[in-house]
Amino acid sequence: MTLPVPAPTQGAATLALYGHPFSSYTQKVLTALYENGTPFELRNLDPAAPGGHAAEWLRRWPFAKFPLLVDGGRTVVESSIVIEHLQLAHPGPLRLIPPDPVAALEVRFMDRFFDLHVMAPVQHAVGAALTGDPARRAEGVAVAADKLGKAYAWLEGEWASGRTWAAGEGFTMADCAAAPALFYADWTHPIAAAYPLLRAYRARLLARPSFARTVEGGRPYRHYFPLGAPDRD
């Protein structure tokens, strides 16, 4: 089935993003929105936040995952699809997916890498810690440490070619994925000094204004991190 993509719009906020400022996948989309100065309204799903948005979010997406974007009459889920949608329907000055299909494939691959091989192990450890069971917490952290160690080693090798951003010299969707993934991964299993290029990349992401703004938005919620948020970043 082919759905029509809304015509590009500018000006007033027509976009509503359901999510949480401390959620990694919400942060991935927030970084993309801030990169292009795209107007939107954040519908914060924190239980203490005003608005009572949870019911509408669950009505639109009973799978209970966020972020979720509402663009006019359309519901868009899955953070990478949301960013692809933004590129098509609300393009800004920065193309987060390059026009060249081969370059775009590399961006999509690195986006998948950060979601599947960095963020997923972090979510595993966090989920285990949230059970409150010390044995499950220890198992979750051990599994994550093993997987993240492999991911860090692979990423260090990729950066040895001299790239600045995840898919080359331009900031893309892959960096939107990498930023929260590496942010929380380093809290879960610190990136060792043996990986200076990866550590420098994480620092570069934290210095990027779009992600720095995202991190500030999540700061009030750091007590939610069940493995204990370190006093840095």
Ligand X SMILES: N[C@@H](CCC(=O)N[C@@H](CS)C(=O)NCC(=O)O)C(=O)O
Nearest CB to ligand X, comparing residues 69 and 151 = 69
User: What is the Cα–Cα distance from 71 to 64, expressed in whole angstroms?
Assistant: 19
Residue 160 interacting with ligand X (CB under 6 A) = no
Among 9, 49, 54, 65, binds ligand X (CB under 6 A): 65
Question: Are 188 and 165 contacting, i.e. CB atoms less than 8 angstroms apart?
Answer: no
Applying CB under 6 A, the span of 6-14, 58-66, 194-202, 208-216 interacting with ligand X comes to 58-66
Determine if 66 is a binding residue for ligand X (CB under 6 A).
yes
Of 17, 21, 23, 42, the one binding ligand X (CB under 6 A) is: 23
Tell me the closest approach of the beta carbon of residue 225 to ligand X, in angstroms. Answer: 12
Q: In what order do the strands lie in the sheet with 74-77?
A: 41-44, 15-19, 68-71, 74-77
Cβ contact 130:47 at 8 Å? no
What 3-state DSSP class applies to 165?
strand
- Residue count of the chain, please give it: 233
Q: How far is CA 70 from CA 33, 89, 148, 164, in A?
A: 14, 12, 33, 33
Query: Taking the complex as a whole, how short is the minimal distance between the CB of residue 74 and ligand X, in angstroms?
Result: 16
Q: Which of 31, 79, 87, 214 binds ligand X (CB under 6 A)?
A: 79
Stretch that binds ligand X, among 64-72, 156-164, 188-196, 215-223 (CB under 6 A): 64-72
Contact 176, 167 (CB under 8 A): no
Nearest distance in Å: CB 98, ligand X? 20
Q: Are strands 68-71 and 41-44 parallel, antiparallel or unpaired?
A: unpaired
If the CB atoms of residues 159 and 178 are measured against ligand X, the closer one turns out to be 178
Task: Give 29 or 205: the residue with its C-beta nearer to ligand X.
Answer: 29
The footprint of ligand X on residues 115-144 (CB under 6 A) is none
For ligand X, the binding residues (CB under 6 A) are: 23-25, 64-66, 78-79
